[in-house]
């Protein structure tokens, strides 16, 4: 059962609403829906706590910068005694199609430094993650500049719909498990494309 939802991003005004911060933005949307405010400081992160279906659930935004996200996650799960497989990580992805959601039960970090940090700090790859496709950089474009940029205005509506869908997926996984989420939410929202 999912007990901790982690949104990855970079703290500070400079990074707000950038591609790399879609984990933060999606977590904020989830927090709003659940009426949980991730505003308490602990374990190098901001967290909020509430109940969902009678079970305790935590929302966490590491404040360590992306490359050190694992510090906060590892301290948090140790402090609250949460098994790593009950942690869901919300993260941006440049390798899947823009506006696509990909849920995986476990696996490698791929090219993502936030996931690399969590795997390195916790010593485990066995945690589910929900990846959100933020688009692919243009040839010759610097990767850091691309992920630290905001979405162009013409993409904003679709990315907002994708975040809404990601929140639906999280709530469905809390209810029915990660496999259910993978079966029902992986890929593009079919309704968006019709």
Instruction: Look at residue 84 and give its three-state secondary structure.
Output: helix
d(CA 25, CA 16): 8
The first and second tokens of residue 160, run together, are 């907002």
CA gyration radius for the chain? Answer: 15
Active site residue 20: yes
Write b or e for each residue in 60-97: b if 16 or more Cβ atoms lie within 10 A of its Cβ, otherwise e: bbbbbbbebbbbbbbbbbeebebebbebbbbbbbbebe
The residues near 62 (Cβ < 8 Å, ≥ 6 apart) are: 6, 8, 44, 45, 68, 69, 71, 72, 73
Q: Choosing from 20, 138, 176, 184, which is the catalytic residue?
A: 20
Active site residues: 20
């Amino acid at each position: 059962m999912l007990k901790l939802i982690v949104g990855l991003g970079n703290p500070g005004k400079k990074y707000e609403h950038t591609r790399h911060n879609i984990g933060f933005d999606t977590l904020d949307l989830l927090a709003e829906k659940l009426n949980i405010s991730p505003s308490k400081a602990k374990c190098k992160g901001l967290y909020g706590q509430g109940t969902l279906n009678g079970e305790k659930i935590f929302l966490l935004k590491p404040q360590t910068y992306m490359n050190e996200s694992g510090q906060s996650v590892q301290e948090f799960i140790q402090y609250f005694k949460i098994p790593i497989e009950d942690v869901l990580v919300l993260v941006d992805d440049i390798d899947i199609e823009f506006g696509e959601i990909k849920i995986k039960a476990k696996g490698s970090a791929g090219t993502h430094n936030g996931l690399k940090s969590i795997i390195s700090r916790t010593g485990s790859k066995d945690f589910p993650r929900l990846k959100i496709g933020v688009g692919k950089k243009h040839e010759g474009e610097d990767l850091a500049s691309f992920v630290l940029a905001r979405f162009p205005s013409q993409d904003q509506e679709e990315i907002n719909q994708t975040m809404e869908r990601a929140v639906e997926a999280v709530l469905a996984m809390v209810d029915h498990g990660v496999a259910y989420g993978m079966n029902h939410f992986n890929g593009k929202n079919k309704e968006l494309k019709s």
